[in-house]
Amino acid sequence: MGSLTTHVLDTAQGKPGNGIAVELYALQPQPTLVKRVLTNGNGRTDEPLLDSAAFSKGQWELRFHIAEYFTAAGVAQAAPPFLDTISIRFAMAADEHYHVPLLVSPWSYSTYRGS
State how far the alpha carbon of 20 is from the alpha carbons of 7, 10, 28, 70, in Å.
10, 10, 25, 9
Predicted local distance difference test score (pLDDT) of residue 55:
95
- Which positions of the chain have pLDDT values less than 50? none
What's the rounded Cα separation, in Å, for the pair 57 and 55? 7
110, 83 in Cβ contact below 8 A? no
What is the pLDDT at residue 77? 83
In this prediction, residue 57 carries a pLDDT of: 95
pLDDT value at residue 79: 87
